[in-house]
Structure 1
Amino acid sequence: MNFSVLGPGELGVACALALLANHPSRTVSLLSRDGKAGGAATSAGFTRRIPPRLRIVSYPTAAEREWPHAVFLCTPAESLIAPSPSFSSTSPVRTFLRDWRDRKGDTGGGKGPFSFLAVFTRGLSTAGVTPVDLACQEMLPGGEVEGEEGERRGMPLILSATGPIFAREWAAQSNPPGSPSSSPEQGLTPDQESETRSDPPRQFSGTALVFALNHATSDAGLVSALRRHLQEDLFRREAVTLLEGPDSGAEVKLINACLPLCAFGAGLVSNYYAGSNASALAAYAQHALRATTGLINGLLGRTVDTPLPPCLCSTLCAVCSHYGLREFVLGRRFDFHFKKAFALQAVYPGQTHTAFTSTVNGLHTLMRARSVSSPFYEVIMDTFSTLLRASVVGAGLVKEGYYDYRQPGSSPFLEHAMKIDEAVFSHDEVAFEAAKSRFISTISQDPK
């Protein structure tokens, strides 16, 4: 039984190491664009050696592939976007998923109960589409069915999944520094090397994982078999929850969309309450949980007081108090418009901030398309768009869960900036030029 993890980033590496720690005899392939860059697994801060049964390879051709039993998707949402006139290249992730789907019958049907794709990716595309839905467009072309009927027709199951908030902790518990590997550190004698090796991974990793079928099923046997497979085979060292409600798949993928913004908002709070912000973050977490529950219920067309599963609530609260998350650090360093670029460069190397930017734009698009409002998230998105000062917003997020700035008498600069923002999201170049001209005129007439 072999597995493939798509994405050599922090989450992908942690997932691959966890699969090996749970069952050292299995083979796990970590797929990346450049298989020769084995350091990709350590470039994001992982300074541990690679286990012998973890293969870091580039996306192979169809003839070279060993088709996996299950696939774990940990790549950004952009890797799943279909080609367009402005972006014509085909993503290797999309190609791999299509080929795996087409050859699912050759993935070892007798070796396991079923094949599945688990999507751990957080965030949204710029168009407001979740990574799970983008994956479904590749796995279920032409509206093919999903769930137990799809399984009978040979289609892999599709799972929404959310993992640990800080992937490095999961990796550290799965493959402690100095654990045996096939690539020993250079310059060590055999005696020194043996001294650097630590004990095997702990019996339990201290990590919680949440899964849900993307579409609800009435097949209790399928759900029971899937739960046993996840809890007793794949992730025996983790606390695994498989949600069964009719909206569970949608809840998990929407939580994954909201988590980056909640972390950014927590950073804004820390921006204002720097040095003694434990209580402030606890107050912020209450507002974040209430606002996220209301937002998800609105997007799913449910009553406003429908509660979220406890496992998702705990994940959300953890995000609101984790100082190590990049989005949190960004919020803490964020302030005026002229500091935005410096903050992004300091927190996100290269162009890796694009995933967070697309999530902010995507949530704005999704809320507008569904006619759903959320003052909490609107304030966070407007702050990232530099319409508001970050530290001032941080205080409002703690006090009331939002910052009420949209009342009569607001600054004319803010009003014009919001018009520019609306024109950008509507892709109306004429309106954008007009709004920009009014903004420049207002600035030139008011030297203050």
Structure 2
Amino acid sequence: MRLTKHNGRAGKNGVYNPKHNDRSFDVSHSEHIDEERVARNIYWDCYNGVRQLAEKNSDEVELASTFEDVEQLYYRSFYSDYTDGQNDRNAKSRHTERNRSPEDLLKNRKTCPEETLLQIGTKEEHVPAETLLIIATEFFAEYENRFGSRVHILDWALHLDESTPHIHERHVFDCENQYGELCPQQEKALEALGFDLPNPEKKVSRHNNRKMVFDATCRALLFEICKRHGLHLDEEPEYGGRKHLEKQDFIIAKQKEQMAVQSETIFSQQTAIAVQSDRIQKQDAVILEKEEKLDELTLKIDDVEALIDEVSDIAYDKAVEVVADTVRVETHRQDIKMVEQSKAWVLSPEQKASKKEKEYAAARLDGVIIKITKAMQTAMTAIKTTLMKPEVKKTSTEQIKEKIRPSILDRLHKNQADVAQREADRRKTQPNRKNRIEI
């Protein structure tokens, strides 16, 4: 098995938050935490000592209730003199924008507490939680004995509600500055404890600092304590990747798993949509064919003047026939009626003429009727011939056009508006189809 010891102050989302350690948040939203086992966790802080969940949330706690409260109280108690003094110096140099409070020190990557994760083994194989707790408490006691004057353990938590037992421990390095004020400063604190640089001939840098020596010393101390308890662990350091995920990293990994499942669902939906899209395209082809026919008819209708000319010619020809027939019939009827009345008068008993004279007069009137009939037929032919003359027809047709054009245009415009409305209604449904296809 391996001994895991990770140190850090901040991640991608800022400085580490102690709320994760003492579970002072709604754990029901964290899938990697077993809510039923949260009560088994063990907590310790520099003001209240060892506590468990019920005690941690008890009203009997006189000082700080949560790890966040503990750290704020500690920083206010020990580093307020430093922030007050520095703020006074800032005011004298007219740089009050540099002023800070103890709470600001807690949020700064250089002055916030450092967090250490301790774990022995992995999810598949690890030491019992009791063994881890014994080793950790012995380590913390030795840690305090050796480095407690400059490195202060603020709080720690043994988590038994996750897949592998592990401990989160938070501490702060401090030392007096040139003004005699105690303030968080790691390198100066380790120098005061007697730690040298890995390479004393070079300047302090990221790859040459006392913290490297301090971490190596703590790691060696941990292995020594483990050996006392019969644990012979792999002491070769493991590089090249972080085995411990931050809370946000875990959430992101979980979201990626959910996204993979969602991708499969989306793929199956896209397949169904593709089938539906094929059907829609076939329907659109039919609609397009009908639209082309409609456009063809619309083009014909758009040639209004040609239509009016055609209608006017036909209307005029029909009108000539109707007018001629009407004139012939009505005139013929009136004239014959008048002759019939004259014939009836001649033959009436009141007339004193002889029978022979009356018959002669009636025969003459019958001849008049025959002549009238022949004359009306001749007149009808003459009327038609006159009305169909080009100059007469043109003038009359133009008059007909002017009369019928408004009514025809109104009817055509109404029909075109109806067609346009149906087309607009049909196209409104197409974006919805497209959206479903592009899910």
> Do the two structures share a fold, i.e. TM-score over 0.5?
no
TM-score, structure 2 as length reference: 0.22
TM-score, structure 1 as length reference: 0.22
